[in-house]
A and B are shown apart, each in its own frame.
Chain A
Amino acid sequence: MTLSEVTGISGEAGDFRVSVKQNPRYIDMNRCIACGECAAKCPKKVDDEFNAGINKRRAAYIKYGQAVPLKYAIDAANCIYLARGKCRACEKFCPTDAIDFEDKEKNVDVNVGSVILAPGWSPFDPKGVDYLGCAESPDIVTSMEYERLLSASGPCMGHLKRPSDSREPKKIAWLQCVGSRNLNRCDNAYCSSVCCMYAIKQALVTAEHLEGDDLSQTVFYMDIRSHGKEFDRYFEKAQADGVNFVRARPHTIEPGKDGTGVTMRYTLDDGKVVVEDFDMAVLSVGLEASKDALSLADTFGIALDEFRFAQTSSFAPVASSREGVFVTGAFQAPKAIPRSVAEASAAAADAARLLTAAKGTLTRSKSYPREKDLAGQQPRVGVFVCSCGINIAGVVDVKEVVAYAEGLPHVVYAENNLFSCSADTQDLIAKRIEEHNLNRIVVAACTPRTHEPLFQDTLREAGLNAYLIEMANIRNQNAWVHQNAPEAATAKAKDQVRMAVAKAALDYPLARDAVPVTQKALVIGGGLAGMGAALNLADQGFEAVLLEKDARLGGNAWHLDTTPKGEPVRPMLEEMIQRTENHANIKVLKNAALKSATGSVGQFVSKIAVDGQTRAVTYGAAVLATGARESVPTEYGYGEDARILTHLEFDRKLREDAAQLGQAQSAVFIQCVGSREPNRPYCSRVCCTHTVKSAIHLKTLNPAMNVYVLYRDMRTYGLNEILYQKARDLGVIFIRYDVDQKPAVAIEGADLKVTVDDPIVQRPLKIDTDLLVLAAAIEPHASDELIALYKCGVNADGFLNEAHPKLRPVDMAVDGLFVAGLCNYPKPVDESIEQAKAAAARAATVLSQEAMQLDAIKSFVTDDCDGCALCLDVCPYRAIKLEEQATEGNGQVHKRIVTDKALCKGCGLCAATCPKGGVHVHGFTLDQLKAQVSAALVDVV
């Protein structure tokens, strides 16, 4: 439901009634073929909000080239006809009569069991902040505008130009924390979490766009917050590639001479004032709560925090204050894409958990007639050439293409359709299949990437196998890109049809295999993440086996005092353990070890050793939540003095004897102990927040205590920034140190002394302290066994890898395996719980099916395979095994490869590697591809 807004909600969790207002699109989605005639003819130009207003679009528009749904819309606020009653140009030119100015606003009521709110965020608008100067110079842009300037689909088509004079900028500055961490010029005290990384990304991508040694990029920052997985490496790469990072906040920003470029004035640590010119400046604007946050919160009656983000608890991070209404993404707090995606899955898990009783009641499936048996039949190809209104026919002579197709080998029928994809043409194709006994179909139209499924469906309805269709892409890759060369385009279209027919003649029916799914999950690791995943799956009605290597559940959470929001961890943990151990659907195995793992998604089998006994478990999916641990510091005198503690030891002491801690006169925290150093070049993510929270705790126990925090970059990301601010307000002293000038710790008799170089006063500072707390790095458990068993991947630091760092944050590269918690990367309690729920949701998508439908495009082994095994190493999915087989009759043993259909993704690396034609990919065999090559080159002499 696009162009729609929620206007009201009634009822309660499990049975809501939601009113939705659907604004008119003025274009019939069933008729629109996205040809773009309406936009081409529309006389009204308006700012294109998708390109951050840098260029113009028309009042009849699509949001962007790959928009979903790819259907145009008319912007009522800007349409000349709708505003002034005249024009209707689009209506005259639309080839399918899709324009409907009678379209009215519709109000619909829908009945749903729960609601997930994901309204996203709005960028901070710096226009009102005068010193930033963005109103005065066109060369000062926001990061969103810059993103569009860089984009290949943006207004500059990927050739970066500065707005003032369209010249390539050579010297670019980024200004961090614009609209974040700022109470003076705006009210956004929080950190937006993503800007440091996106600025680094933009600096690096800029270097890809602009060649030459004279390019210079400078990032002005307060703290670099590269606290995510692989983020610090990315930051170091940027430094190595020559991006300048300057810790300063430019205070005067003015247009450069002759109105182009920017002049900035800033002060360095040592007090020196610098005036510098840049060709361009990018304001790294922060994320604000969505513009609709207030009205949504009002409609749904949910609580927001002081920054208009939705209020949630660390233990239920996607639950809003109203039962049955879940919140996710940047509406919950500013965050980057992977966490938004994980949270979205978590919200899905919670919503599904609530509605388990009604699962599957409203979904539908479709049935098809039996497939015809084609055995012994010669190919009888039918060719359907689409005009796509005038999209194709306006350039390509479609009649000539049809006539040409009729003369091709195997073709028994050819015709032209105005729109091959329209519903009536689908019926027509089915009729022609019947009439002419067609058994292969070629559609010359648009791209198979969007339309092949539609035609496959038509074939299935007509009793043909779905894989007997080929498409010739004569629109996107012909008519649209050769608009000024109609003759050459027609010739190309003929070639394309000839190539498709040649391949179609060699097409054969393919069966989509299915693997049965065991609707049971194995969860490895009984910490917060493991229990969270097991509980959610169990609540959704799936059986879960929870494997814990220790004698008790809970893991690291036993050692934590409170979350950054101040919620005590212990009661929640105890409740969670109790629920896990008593849940009817969960089997807990303690003191257990995984011994073997075979099979693949839907059907894994493992042997598990429990107290010396081995048992076998069959399961459809597994969640890996093996956790991590606090490392043991090897510096700063750790282990030599009882006053030197790690974070977890500090938390224990706080719980056991807070009064004693409060008696200290002075306390020092040292950050990055063992993190962000050559042997652990990653950020442990949680320590900065834990430190400021602990420093505040000490200041509350004893306001007179001198508390020092020695840090490299404070990384209190997101709403944790508020704690950092509070700590400073309470008088905690923050002193930055460089990694090559680390603080020194000396134990002199009864005295504990810390010496650090203060970069502001530029001299060493000696601190006598009663307490020294070290932010020891989080390190992963050794996971060699797990990796060997599941063939899953880890990064260079030993953390388990996800399938895609942005879009599949809890899936692993091996299908059916999911990852959650610290074993993936260091993270706080709320993020671990989010990931656990997300992993459960993703596992549920596997376990919800009785059988997994596999795609038919898979590799298969032929008789020519002689077992040379060259393909084994190149297979990225480890889907190939070498087996010994006895030849029938003579009993001789020979080697052959076997491919696993569940693991194979049909990439064909094996086929390209094989020197003997021993392995091919269905639908893309060497013969089929060769036929296309030959057909393409038939006219070449």
Chain B
Amino acid sequence: MTTNHEPVILGFLCNWCAYAGGDLAGVSRLQYPPNMRAVRVMCSGMVHPDLVVDAFGKGADGVMVMG
């Protein structure tokens, strides 16, 4: 792994809180690194373990489930 490796992080964001928080970060123009790809879910409880395993299997460096 080279030192300039940019990790790819997959985020599962609850529509009612974490995703809304992501929107608010935008309205507030808070800057953060562009490494996360967000999947919007209706509740963090709907994230099936398979999805997490799948993400790692396909090369994600990290998975965040936020809700």
Using a CB-CB cutoff of 8 Å, which residues 34-66 of chain A contact chain B?
A: 36, 65-66
Q: Mark B34-56, 1 if CB is under 8 A from A, else 0.
A: 10011111110111111100110
Please report the number of residue pairs spanning A and B whose Cβ atoms sit closer than 8 angstroms. Answer: 127
**Contact yes or no, B54 A65, CB < 8 A:** no
Cα of A607 to Cα of B50 in the assembled complex, Å? 45
Interchain nearest-CB distance for A842 vs B (Å): 21
What residue in chain A is nearest B29 (Cβ atoms)? A480
**Contact yes or no, B23 A447, CB < 8 A:** yes
**Contact yes or no, A934 B39, CB < 8 A:** no
Q: Is the interface of B mostly helix, strand, loop or mixed?
A: mixed
Complex interface: chain B residues within 8 A of A616 (CB): none
Complex interface: chain B residues within 8 A of A476 (CB): 22-23, 25-27
Does chain B have a CB within 8 A of A924?
A: yes
Cα of A449 to Cα of B24 in the assembled complex, Å? 11
**Given A933-B58, A940-B58: A449 and B15 within 8 A (CB)?**
yes
Cα of A940 to Cα of B27 in the assembled complex, Å? 30
Interface-central residue, B15, B20, B26, B55, by most chain A CB under 10 Å? B26
**Contact yes or no, B46 A65, CB < 8 A:** no
**Contact yes or no, A933 B8, CB < 8 A:** no
Complex interface: chain B residues within 8 A of A144 (CB): none
What residue in chain B is nearest A907 (Cβ atoms)? B43
Interchain nearest-CB distance for A57 vs B (Å): 13
Using a CB-CB cutoff of 8 Å, which residues 350-399 of chain A contact chain B?
A: none
Does chain B have a CB within 8 A of A83?
A: no
**Given A66-B24, A481-B26, A907-B46: A926 and B51 within 8 A (CB)?**
yes
Does chain B have a CB within 8 A of A908?
A: yes
Complex interface: chain B residues within 8 A of A491 (CB): 34
Does chain B have a CB within 8 A of A166?
A: no
What residue in chain B is nearest A65 (Cβ atoms)? B27
- The interface stretch among A168-176, A482-490, A545-553, A798-806 is A482-490
**Contact yes or no, B34 A489, CB < 8 A:** yes
What residue in chain B is nearest A450 (Cβ atoms)? B23
Complex interface: chain B residues within 8 A of A496 (CB): 37-38
**Contact yes or no, B49 A481, CB < 8 A:** no
Cα of A489 to Cα of B31 in the assembled complex, Å? 12
**Contact yes or no, A926 B48, CB < 8 A:** yes
**Contact yes or no, B34 A488, CB < 8 A:** yes
Does chain B have a CB within 8 A of A582?
A: no
**Given A488-B34, A937-B60: A909 and B25 within 8 A (CB)?**
no
Does chain B have a CB within 8 A of A703?
A: no
Interchain nearest-CB distance for A487 vs B (Å): 9
**Contact yes or no, A929 B39, CB < 8 A:** yes
Cα of A482 to Cα of B40 in the assembled complex, Å? 19
Complex interface: chain A residues within 8 A of B43 (CB): 906-909
Complex interface: chain A residues within 8 A of B37 (CB): 492, 495-496, 499, 936
Cα of A932 to Cα of B51 in the assembled complex, Å? 10
Complex interface: chain B residues within 8 A of A912 (CB): 45-49
**Contact yes or no, B41 A933, CB < 8 A:** no
Cα of A481 to Cα of B38 in the assembled complex, Å? 14
What residue in chain B is nearest A476 (Cβ atoms)? B26
Complex interface: chain A residues within 8 A of B29 (CB): 36, 480-481, 483
Cα of A921 to Cα of B40 in the assembled complex, Å? 13
**Contact yes or no, A940 B34, CB < 8 A:** no
**Contact yes or no, A908 B38, CB < 8 A:** no
Does chain B have a CB within 8 A of A531?
A: no
Interchain nearest-CB distance for A901 vs B (Å): 15
Cα of A923 to Cα of B50 in the assembled complex, Å? 18
Does chain B have a CB within 8 A of A475?
A: yes
From B23, B34, B42, B55, A933 is in contact (CB under 8 Å) with B55
**Contact yes or no, A906 B38, CB < 8 A:** no
Complex interface: chain A residues within 8 A of B20 (CB): 449
What residue in chain B is nearest A70 (Cβ atoms)? B27
From A481, A924, A934, A940, B32 is in contact (CB under 8 Å) with A481
Does chain B have a CB within 8 A of A941?
A: yes
Q: Mark A906-941, 1 if CB is under 8 A from B, else 0.
A: 111101101000000101101001101110110011
**Contact yes or no, A153 B42, CB < 8 A:** no
Complex interface: chain A residues within 8 A of B40 (CB): 448
Cα of A857 to Cα of B41 in the assembled complex, Å? 11
**Contact yes or no, A482 B24, CB < 8 A:** no
Does chain B have a CB within 8 A of A600?
A: no
**Contact yes or no, A929 B23, CB < 8 A:** no
Complex interface: chain B residues within 8 A of A478 (CB): 34
**Contact yes or no, B45 A449, CB < 8 A:** no
Interchain nearest-CB distance for A360 vs B (Å): 31
**Contact yes or no, A482 B27, CB < 8 A:** no
Does chain B have a CB within 8 A of A603?
A: no
Interchain nearest-CB distance for B34 vs A (Å): 4
**Given A449-B19, A921-B46, A924-B46: A936 and B10 within 8 A (CB)?**
yes
Interchain nearest-CB distance for B25 vs A (Å): 6
**Contact yes or no, B59 A941, CB < 8 A:** yes
**Given A447-B23, A449-B19, A489-B34: A65 and B42 within 8 A (CB)?**
no
Complex interface: chain A residues within 8 A of B59 (CB): 937, 940-941
Complex interface: chain A residues within 8 A of B55 (CB): 933, 936-937
Interchain nearest-CB distance for B16 vs A (Å): 9
**Given A485-B34, A499-B39: A911 and B28 within 8 A (CB)?**
no
From A66, A908, A926, A936, B27 is in contact (CB under 8 Å) with A66
**Contact yes or no, A940 B8, CB < 8 A:** yes
Cα of A687 to Cα of B59 in the assembled complex, Å? 64
**Given A448-B40, A477-B23, A941-B59: A907 and B45 within 8 A (CB)?**
yes
Cα of A941 to Cα of B59 in the assembled complex, Å? 7
Using a CB-CB cutoff of 8 Å, which residues 459-511 of chain A contact chain B?
A: 473, 475-478, 480-485, 488-489, 491-492, 495-496, 499
List 7 A-B pairs, Cβ < 8 Å.
A449-B20, A475-B26, A496-B37, A907-B46, A936-B10, A937-B60, A940-B58
Interface residues in chain A, defined as those with a beta carbon under 8 Å from any beta carbon in chain B: 36, 65-66, 153, 447-450, 473, 475-478, 480-485, 488-489, 491-492, 495-496, 499, 857, 874, 906-909, 911-912, 914, 921, 923-924, 926, 929-930, 932-934, 936-937, 940-941
The 9 closest A-B pairs by CB, nearest first: A908-B46, A476-B26, A940-B59, A907-B43, A480-B26, A937-B58, A936-B37, A909-B45, A488-B34
Interface residues in chain B, defined as those with a beta carbon under 8 Å from any beta carbon in chain A: 8, 10, 15, 19-20, 22-32, 34, 37-43, 45-51, 54-55, 58-60
Supply 18 further A-B pairs (C-beta < 8 A) apart from A496-B38, A906-B43. A65-B28, A448-B40, A449-B19, A476-B27, A477-B25, A477-B38, A488-B34, A492-B34, A906-B42, A909-B43, A921-B42, A929-B48, A933-B55, A936-B10, A936-B55, A936-B60, A937-B55, A940-B59
